[in-house]
Amino acid sequence: MQALLNNVEEGCYDGVVVVDFDRLSRGSYADLGMIEEAFKSTGTLIITPQKIYDLEDDSDDLTIGIKSFVSKEEYKLIKKRMQEGKINGAKRGMWTSGQPPFPYKYDRLDRLLVVDETKLYYYREMVERYLNGSSLTEIAQWLTDNVSRQRKNTVGKRQKWSTVVVKRILSSEVHLGYVIFGKHKRKKGVRQVLPQEQWIKTQGTHEALKTEEEHRKIMARLALAKTLNPKSRADVLPLSGMLYCEKCGARMIVKTVIYKNGKKCWCVLCSKRQEDKSCDQKSSVLNEDFFNGLYQRVVRIDENLQWQLQEHGKDIMKYKQLLAIKEKELKKTPSCYR
């Protein structure tokens, strides 16, 4: 046994990997139990730089159990100190959350976030394009055509930009100059999003790349997109949300129907009939005759109704002007009186 240990220490024993036992016992107790049981059943020796352990020997088995407990507690203490270090760093405005968002990069020497000047133009272009009406899909395609995106285990492969990534970058408050830590927590292996009250949000030491006004407009447009049906965002259907059932008053659903010959048309049906068959309204196809009739109805609108619409429009304009005045007065009011 001593000769074997000497050979291991000298590094001349073939087929043996020498590790500290701590590395085997830092997982869960269930994993450690499986490892020990496997070693026992196969008569495998645990060889460390200090000693060779035989789990069939009671004293070695007891020693391994004590070492396992101590090692695991040390590992938990190390993780706790690392977490506390990240929290303290985030409270001081330092970046402690791994890979920074585009177009920042982490300066390990100064431990700061710095702007990658080669990517700054593309980020500002993303913001400007989105504020000017471009969709997330259009921006993602533009980035794919102009900016290479490298991911792990994809050396030499050009990766496409997804709308999810574009949305995360545009909505990130890191570009406002903030450092946010503690947004997620793992519980039983499942990643959970914590309430905003539990986040650590401080003013960072890095350069901000967008204004508060730009961020507010971006978030307002993203929130508006959430209220739309995903199918409607992909293909806006005619008169969607504008038709109501004549028999029960429920909203009519507009669907796209594709026939076997490839011809596409739009069909409307009562939502009550779709849900519980409580309405006997039959579905109808929005064909050419329907749109011709609708057009004739719109262009021949009653004069009295036209006057009502004009008056209604004047009221809306009056209230908009009044709202603008009140907003200006509110901005002039000191924050302590709001």
Instruction: Please give the pLDDT value at position 87.
Output: 82
Q: Which of 55, 11, 108, 161 is nearest to 100 (CA)?
A: 108
- Are residues 156 and 201 both part of a single domain? yes
Query: Could you give the CA distance from residue 210 to residue 177 in angstroms, rounded to a whole number?
Result: 9
- 3-class DSSP assignment, residue 115: strand
pLDDT tier at 299 (50, 70, 90 boundaries)?
A: low
Supply the pTM of this predicted model.
0.51
- 3-class DSSP assignment, residue 97: coil
Output the six-digit token pair for 232: 């409607």
Instruction: Please give the pLDDT value at position 9.
Output: 44
Q: What is the DSSP letter of 244?
A: B
The answer to the question of residue 97 being in a domain is no
The answer to the question of residue 117 being in a domain is yes
Host domain of residue 139: 104-227
pLDDT at 13 over 70: no
Picking from 227, 243, 270, the residue at the C-terminal end of a domain is 227
CB atoms within 10 A of CB 50: 10
Residue 10 is inside which H or E element, if any?
A: none
The answer to whether 183 touches 199, Cβ cutoff 8 Å, is: yes
- Are residues 113 and 193 both part of a single domain? yes
- Are residues 119 and 195 both part of a single domain? yes
pLDDT tier at 194 (50, 70, 90 boundaries)?
A: confident
Query: Could you give the CA distance from residue 245 to residue 283 in angstroms, rounded to a whole number?
Result: 10
Could you report the per-residue pLDDT of 114-171, keeping only the tens digit for each? 999 999 999 999 999 999 888 888 899 899 988 876 555 445 556 789 888 999 999 9
Query: Could you give the CA distance from residue 257 to residue 296 in angstroms, rounded to a whole number?
Result: 26
Domain count, the chain: 4
